[in-house]
Amino acid sequence: MSSRRTAKQGSNRQVLREREIINAARLVFESTGFDSASMADIAARAGIVEGTVYLYFDSKKELMHRVVAEWYEGLIASVSNGLARVSGVRGRIRFCILRHLRVYVEDTGLANLMIRELRRDKKFYETEIYSLNKRYAAFMTAEILEGIKQGELNSDIAPDVVRDLIFGGIEHYAYRILSGRGGLDIDLAADRILGTLWAGIAAPKNTSQIALEDRIARLERMTLANSEKS
């Protein structure tokens, strides 16, 4: 067997092992949180000895950052792909709201890591996670700016303020999930959040135009939901 082939096989095993550690770490962090998780727990979940984990990651914190970074990258891809199938400013803003609500329902453990661990770190704004968070939030900002450009939203609103109100409101609305006090109908929540917000940011329009846009948005949501099920 050539040395090149041996090196390639060794590299493949290392990549596979690293992936197993990351997957195991995500499960442990999601189920126990950061403080209660240990490298020994992660190693046991991955089926390896604890020392092997340290061959790939220097600390539990570094491993947590890797887990959350990969999660964010998947989330960014999901939003980008989803927005490509939705038309209209209102429909696209609703999609962003709904997708963010899904984070708290489907990835509760990682959402808790972001809020209770990562964002409290004084060096958070120097991390890759913060850069990914900015990329994720930029989708909402872009839709608000597009709404202003198209005349659907009031030109005197501050896009960054509206964006922060949306994400902050969603986090507060979904806190019942983070605290383990119940579930959430995310479709209903998205409609309530957008409906309340829209009254304050939309440019004046006649009622028939608004009704037509609402009907179109409902049809698009039904189509999107059916395509995700198939």
d(CA 32, CA 88): 41
Provide the 3-class DSSP secondary structure of residue 119: coil
Q: How much of the chain is helix, strand and coil, in % rounded to 5?
A: 80, 0, 20
d(CA 145, CA 150): 9
Question: Could you tell me the domains of the chain?
Answer: 1-57 (1.10.10.60), 60-229 (1.10.357.10)
Average pLDDT value for residue range 182-211 = 82
Task: Tell me 116's DSSP state.
Answer: I
Mean pLDDT of the chain: 88
Cα–Cα nearest to 162, from 216, 199, 207, 135? 199
Q: Quote the tokens at residue 67.
A: 């887990």
pLDDT surpasses 70 at 118: yes
pLDDT of residue 51: 94
**CB-based contact 186:98 (threshold 8 Å):** yes
Q: Position 25: which residue type? A: A
Of residues 119 and 178, the one with the higher pLDDT is: 119
Residue 224: band (very low, low, confident or very high) from pLDDT cuts 50, 70, 90? low
Q: What is the DSSP string of 131-183?
A: HHHHHHHHHHHHHHHHHHHTTSB-TTS-HHHHHHHHHHHHHHHTHHHHTTS--
pLDDT of residue 1: 44
Residues 79-97 pLDDT 10s = 999 999 999 999 999 999 9
Helices (H) and strands (E) in the chain, counts: 11, 0
SS3 string, 72-93, reads HHHHHHHHHHHHCCCCCHHHHH
pTM of the complete model? 0.82
Residue 8: band (very low, low, confident or very high) from pLDDT cuts 50, 70, 90? very low
Residues 27-78 pLDDT 10s = 999 999 999 999 999 999 999 999 999 999 999 999 999 999 999 999 999 9
